[in-house]
Structure 1
């Protein structure tokens, strides 16, 4: 992108100071004079109007501090060139415009626009992820939402069973497993299991388990004892009938959501195997060829220019702490402003990787030994993995412990 104005042509540059509640926008011309300055609330409805306004102005590009989110996607979809100037760069550039280095939303928006005007030729425009990555991201996020919905429904089912059939809770390993759902469809309440023509007996339970090909290690005698020894629900026949309807409805909802999540998981695995970057993320310890590797790939993306260094990836993922210093005050705290989906994907992977990687286990155990709690220790491990993942991602190579200096030093020791 050329930042040198052509004679008679007025070029405009926009800067957007992103915030949680409102975004400050500033547009400057090729001489650095402010043309337009305004604010918009952080809602998707206002993004359409902003994009149309910037398009009508004919801006050369937009400078912003972050590389993702609905606002960035709206600008890219409209064909605007988006340039990322990281918060660290903005902090260093404030002294260029103010001797005090004071911060304000309007001032940062002007700073971003003017830096794009003067140094745009040094910046690389942001590129959208490939269609394959965007589809994988949508599938991964939707599956996670279904899993969260299933957990909520299972909790509702457990609460319902506490009132009408306490013995069914903990009868099998998972309340939403095939054997649990089949059992509860036949015996939705304690009343149905203790009376009627299909009253539950040890022989009947054994026949039922054979019919559904139960492969658990718990004996029929023990399973029957769990039901028989449970405290009574104390419901009348009419109350039990009402609860049976509720249990049946929850069973159907749980089964539907669970099956749809499994369908999406199969689709994710198929699309992951066909992705150009699959070999990078599937090679990581405990990432596998499933949803964990797909989530990492989908949230990090496939545009290398988005994260020019490992610090930018760690900062966006929220696994690097924030240092606040002023005079004698110095504090290191949790990074709240982060991409939570990216952070969850990295932390989930890091937490499980310590069971397969001695190096990861060593980093985690050292953090615990220093007095860190499990969530903090897991974030420390995730930050250590960011260095490795970023390098593999940038060089387009699969993870190999041999060139990994930290892992080899640990093995040698």
Structure 2
């Protein structure tokens, strides 16, 4: 009886996709690292569909890509493909493995991404998609952050303009982009208008804006003592620039407020909202940022240390022989680090335990940013416990906080 010869073993294929704004380059390699196919697709519905067809047809074992969001990644995950996110900084460092001069080359980077999946898959964590409500919160808070950046840029441009045209208004109120500052510039946007102000007129104007922080006499004295700006026809002409900056600032501020309302609605509808809103001084936007950047997939972080490492609040340690180097961690999720450090830095104003940890770090000679990262790492251990057990933060059950309060009943910081 003859025994049939075994058929050819199924070929194992890996892929890498170099993401770009207008098109994407894909590279498929086999188990030996030999290039099987290269594809270039446009960043549109048809192009992404064609890439999915190629990858699923080749039955790729894993896909390496440099970013973990966007329609391309969503399509890869929807198609059931296993996706690994490899940060651009890692790709840059890995180019030297292949004898490259280190220059950016999209075709070569696509190959590097594929080959890293082939050789280092056991060190990589598959990208697990968050639920739709989490993705919605993430999109909202990131859009708000971008608009806040625009607000700061426009406010800085307005400030630079006013230092020449109307210096008296710069620093008159707490913030140049505050509603009272913008209203003042809208009503008194020239040096001539400021010079014509009387105390009674300014007092009436302040009452109309319900401003009570400083009396009219003090504000008027500041206006009179300031360096004079441009008067006459030139001042009137330059006031048009002031109005243009004000209009841009008003528009950005209005959109930020609109997004904040959407964030509040989306956050309160999220099943994890209570966990993050229970944190000290988390508020709405800060709680939403933490929720959005940590996500909702508990399997993504097996330990609190894994979460802290991705957030970049733990140092990077390199050791060779007797040499041990502890340095700032660069290859991190910067959105997550920004959200965690923003929360930690402000939490010390409301939580005695957080204030104590921060002050201890400063006493050891750490600068402010380093001390905040130390505090953020401590907070992430607590947040991770709350997150994995679906339990809001409860100060009464925070042992370190309660121990500190028993030692010193007076608020710290």
TM-score (norm 2): 0.79
Partner of residue 327 from structure 1, selected from 317, 321, 324: 321
Q: What residue is the counterpart of 2:268 in the other structure?
A: 273
Q: What residue is the counterpart of 1:228 in the other structure?
A: 224
- Give 1:58 shift: 3.0
Which whole-Å deviations, capped at 9, do the CAs of 1:342-386 have from their partners, x for residues lacking one? 110000000011122222122211211111100011011111111
- Give 1:49 shift: 9.1
| Residues 10-409 of structure 1 mapped to structure 2, 5 A cutoff | 10=10, 12-14=12-14, 16=16, 27-28=29-30, 32-34=31-33, 36=35, 48=48, 51-52=51-52, 54-62=54-62, 68-70=68-70, 73-74=73-74, 76-82=76-82, 109-110=114-115, 112-113=117-118, 126-194=127-195, 199-210=196-207, 212-233=208-229, 235-288=230-283, 290-409=284-403
Question: 2: distance between equivalents of 1:361 and 1:340?
Answer: 24
Question: 1: distance between equivalents of 2:214 and 2:385?
Answer: 47
- Give 1:39 shift: 8.6
TM-score (norm 1): 0.79
- 1:17 to 1:361, Cα distance in 2 relative to 1, 3 A: farther
- 1:27 to 1:74, Cα distance in 2 relative to 1, 3 A: farther
Q: Give the secondary structure class of the aligned counterpart of 2:282.
A: coil
Question: 1: distance between equivalents of 2:263 and 2:349?
Answer: 24
Q: What residue is the counterpart of 2:106 in the other structure?
A: none
- Give 1:203 shift: 2.1
Question: 2: distance between equivalents of 1:68 and 1:264?
Answer: 23
- Give 1:177 shift: 2.0
Unmatched tracts of structure 2, length 5 or more: 1-5, 91-95, 99-108, 408-413
Aligned-pair Cα RMSD in Å: 3.7
- 1:193 to 1:355, Cα distance in 2 relative to 1, 3 A: closer
Question: 2: distance between equivalents of 1:34 and 1:315?
Answer: 30
- 1:208 to 1:167, Cα distance in 2 relative to 1, 3 A: same
Question: 1: distance between equivalents of 2:231 and 2:175?
Answer: 28
- Give 1:408 shift: 3.8
- Give 1:307 shift: 1.4
Which whole-Å deviations, capped at 9, do the CAs of 1:62-104 have from their partners, x for residues lacking one? 16598834598256345133265999xx9xxxxxxxxxxx966
Are the equivalent residues in 2 in contact too, given 1:63–1:84 (CA < 8 A)?
yes
Unmatched tracts of structure 1, length 5 or more: 1-5, 91-101
Are the equivalent residues in 1 in contact too, given 2:25–2:39 (CA < 8 A)?
yes
- Give 1:7 shift: 7.1
Are the equivalent residues in 2 in contact too, given 1:317–1:342 (CA < 8 A)?
yes
Question: 2: distance between equivalents of 1:172 and 1:180?
Answer: 6
- 1:312 to 1:25, Cα distance in 2 relative to 1, 3 A: farther
Q: How many aligned residue pairs are there?
A: 378
Q: Give the secondary structure class of the aligned counterpart of 2:325.
A: strand
Which whole-Å deviations, capped at 9, do the CAs of 1:1-57 have from their partners, x for residues lacking one? xxxxx977725342659999x9996644xxx5546368999x979x94994475254
Are the equivalent residues in 1 in contact too, given 2:77–2:83 (CA < 8 A)?
no
- 1:75 to 1:319, Cα distance in 2 relative to 1, 3 A: farther
Question: 2: distance between equivalents of 1:259 and 1:85?
Answer: 35
- 1:304 to 1:18, Cα distance in 2 relative to 1, 3 A: farther
Are the equivalent residues in 2 in contact too, given 1:296–1:342 (CA < 8 A)?
yes
Are the equivalent residues in 1 in contact too, given 2:176–2:182 (CA < 8 A)?
yes
- Give 1:129 shift: 1.0
Stretch moving more, 139-148 or 213-222: 213-222
Q: Give the secondary structure class of the aligned counterpart of 2:35.
A: strand
Q: Give the secondary structure class of the aligned counterpart of 1:323.
A: strand
- 1:159 to 1:133, Cα distance in 2 relative to 1, 3 A: same
